[in-house]
Structure 1
């Protein structure tokens, strides 16, 4: 744990203000749910709550199955980071998503693009991997956009089409329904 040097007092209603700089850095907005943890030393830990994070193991198995069947890279994200990755770029796991990807999720956009297209987006802020094609489909649960299913390839000979869009859409719809149960 890293100290920030910021001290806040609890008000008479038991509230503590999380400083704006920390909220901005962690992408915490008004209304975002936070999970509260305590440890044996009496520390209180606030963590941004990810509803799809509860499906972590299940999402990993789903991504692994899709990657094995298709030969593509499959990544599943919540609105902050990748929670499951299968294929040749496991380094994406637990990395933060890019603001462009977050925006696409919030806008409920399904994107199919080659790296030459203007609508091709970086999926992480540190995205240095040369993907040639991508399909991004938002995961919707109870009317809320909560994450995305992403299918990627580095093979310049491969062109994605309706089949890949339907695969990502099916996976996103299935994961969204799992969250509703």
Structure 2
């Protein structure tokens, strides 16, 4: 693990708290209420890492994505609130572990499933941060994963085929996958 010094020093208060600077919270997408894991090492370093509840299920999420891709023939991506944690039907190198884009982040927070068809004048949402209008995908379904009332990620179906239109079946499959993954987190 490569760590980078920030040059910022903070003192611990009388309750054992330390403030994470706003710039770091913004860069790392740490929001109020976000869980952080605490690690220590032998050299006495304390490391804070964003906790991804769905990341704990990444192997299971990947198996579910494989089943969903086999059933639909579409590219399937599953994300937590920050990164893609499973991808089937597309290049893992292109998606796996990549930061999600602001558009996908906003859709997840709104807790509503969306379905977009570019052929019907719909705008395809960028699911990755560094993506700039990936026009190779013509339709998509995005279903937020909700666990105990909190959004924790998304299930995304993507299609490049112009003759294939995603409809209610794909929407229901994505919602079912999202609901199932959300329920797994509650156990």
The TM-score bracket by the shorter chain reads: over 0.9
Pairing of 1:117-156 with structure 2 (within 5 A) = 117-128=121-132, 129=134, 130-156=136-162
* Mapped partners of 1:97, 1:89: distance in 2: 16
Q: Taking structure 2 as the reference length, what is the TM-score of the superposition?
A: 0.91
Structure 1 unaligned spans of 5+: none
Deviations 1:83-121 (A, max 9, x none): 111112322111111111111111111110023544531
Matched, 1:179 2:185: yes
Who is 1:46 aligned against?
Answer: 48
Query: What SS does the corresponding residue of 1:11 show, helix, strand or coil?
Result: coil
Greater than 4 Å deviation, 4+ residue runs: none
* Mapped partners of 1:127, 1:64: distance in 2: 24
* Mapped partners of 1:22, 1:164: distance in 2: 38
Q: Does the 8 Å CA contact 1:73/1:89 hold for their aligned counterparts?
A: no
* Mapped partners of 1:179, 1:51: distance in 2: 7
* Mapped partners of 1:92, 1:110: distance in 2: 21
Of residues 168, 174, 177 in structure 2, which corresponds to 1:168?
A: 174
* Mapped partners of 1:139, 1:69: distance in 2: 20
Who is 1:67 aligned against?
Answer: 69
Q: Does the 8 Å CA contact 2:124/2:138 hold for their aligned counterparts?
A: no
Provide the alpha-carbon RMSD of the alignment: 1.4
Aligned residues: 181
* Mapped partners of 2:89, 2:104: distance in 1: 20
Query: What SS does the corresponding residue of 1:32 show, helix, strand or coil?
Result: coil
Structure 2 unaligned spans of 5+: none
Matched, 1:57 2:59: yes
